[in-house]
Amino acid sequence: MFRALLRAIVALLMMISPALPNQIGLPAEPNGQALELDSRFELVWEDEFEGDSLDRTKWQTEWWVTERKGGYWHEDMVSVADGNLTITTAYFDEPLENKYLEKWGDIINFKPYKEGWYTACISTQDLHEFKYGYFEISCILPKSTGMWSAFWMMNGGVVNEDGSGKDGTEVDIFESMFYKDEIWGYGDCVQTGVIYDGYGEANVGVGLGKYYAENPYEEYNTYGVEWNENEYIFYINGIETCRTSAGGVSQNPEWLLVSCEVAGDNGVAWADRHGTGKMSMEPGDTAEFIVDYVRVYQYK
């Protein structure tokens, strides 16, 4: 009821001004131009997640961290079956094995895995990097408060504190943080933004607003970004949501990431981080981030 009422209010506000909902902190409906995919782009890379295991020629799970905010990233939480990639979030009473101690243990001071919530991240880092084009994921979001899923791009230059994102920008194509919000109706929306100049005091984070998808915790939606030398243009289900040239736009190749995270710190899930709400799952419960495909297109 509240969601339907809020979306009706948002529709009315957008008739006054398309930018008005986000200006007052409400989600907006995608209402921009339709993506001209076939006429402007050609498919150059994809993963349809066929088979029964992650394609290691396309994705890696090796990380220099074990702990990630209020939980842990671990490759055992990644599975492929029935044409889908699934990243599962679950609680373990006993810590899982660190599979990278032999390879990285002498040069990285790993924090030990402990009891807690485990989930995962996969990336194309050191395997496939891309510069310019259109990048899209089709997925169903995990149904839980206290966590979020994301599809994003990164480059090592993100950490350079030089007043520019041209050497590398974190591009958050979508982040799902609002499953909890039944009252105000945020539950069907995702968030978009860009980050550059590192993650310290010089950090610049540009939030571009919240945008509705269609029943995203039960149905597949597509989330994408067109990236060219002048701007980023974001889409949900092929309809533009927003665009920006903040930071000057990355001019360097970037890799792709598909991830889940648990809100909190030091491996403990306790926080309402970025609007996620506190973790509502109990040990024994699971939440699944289900991905149908990831595709990369470049300009014809």
**What's the whole-number mean pLDDT along residues 45-72?**
93
In a domain, 86, yes or no: yes
Residue 103: the pLDDT is 79
Structural domain contains residue 38: yes
- pLDDT mean over 35-52: 97
Given pLDDT bands bounded at 50, 70 and 90, which one contains residue 90? very high
CATH code of the domain containing 91? 2.60.120.200
212 located within any domain: yes
Over residues 70-76, mean pLDDT:
95
* Structure confidence at residue 288 (pLDDT): 98
Instruction: Write out pLDDT tens, residues 272-296.
Output: 887 788 888 999 999 999 999 999 9
Give backbone dihedrals phi and psi of 77, rounded to 5 degrees, phi first.
-90, 5
The percent of residues above 90 in pLDDT, for the chain, comes to 76
Rounded to an integer, the average pLDDT of 64-79 is 92
> Contact 71/264 with Cβ under 8 angstroms?
yes
**What string of DSSP letters covers the chain?**
-HHHHHHHHHHHHHHH-TTHHHHTT--B---SPBP-HHHHEEEEEEE---SSS--TTT-B---S-SEEBTEEE-GGGEEEETTEEEEEEEEESSPPP-TTHHHHTTT--PPPP-SEEEE-EEE-TTT--B-SEEEEEEEE----SSEEEEEEEE-GGGG--SS-STT--EEEEEEE--TT-TTTSGGGEEEEEEEES-SSTT-EEEEEEEEE-SSTTTS-EEEEEEE-SS-EEEEETTEEEEEE-GGG---S-BEEEEEEEESSBTTB-----TT--S----BTBEEEEEEEEEEEEEE-
CA pair distance 99, 234, nearest whole angstrom: 36
Q: Let me know: does 40 contact 72? Beta carbons within 8 Å.
A: no
Per-residue tokens: 189: 């929306």
Domain limits for position 186:
27-299
Q: What's the average model confidence in pLDDT over 131-150?
A: 96
Gap between the Cα atoms of 210 and 190, Å rounded: 5
Asked whether residue 103 is assigned to any structural domain, the reply reads yes
| Stretch among 102-106, 203-207, 211-215, 225-229 having the lowest mean pLDDT | 102-106
Mean pLDDT, the chain, rounded, equals: 91
Q: Is residue 11 part of a domain?
A: no
Number of domains, the chain:
1
Query: Does residue 1 surpass a pLDDT of 60?
Result: no
**pLDDT over threshold 80, residue 111:** yes
The yes-or-no verdict on residue 118 having pLDDT over 70 is yes
- 4 falls within a domain: no
Q: Which of 60 and 273 is assigned the larger pLDDT?
A: 60
The reply to whether 1 falls in a domain is no
Question: CA 32, 33, 37 angle in degrees (round to 5)?
Answer: 135
Weakest mean pLDDT among 37-41, 64-68, 259-263: 64-68
- Please indicate, yes or no, if residue 137 is contained in any of the structural domains: yes
The predicted-structure confidence for 195-204, as pLDDT tens digits, reads as follows: 999 999 999 9
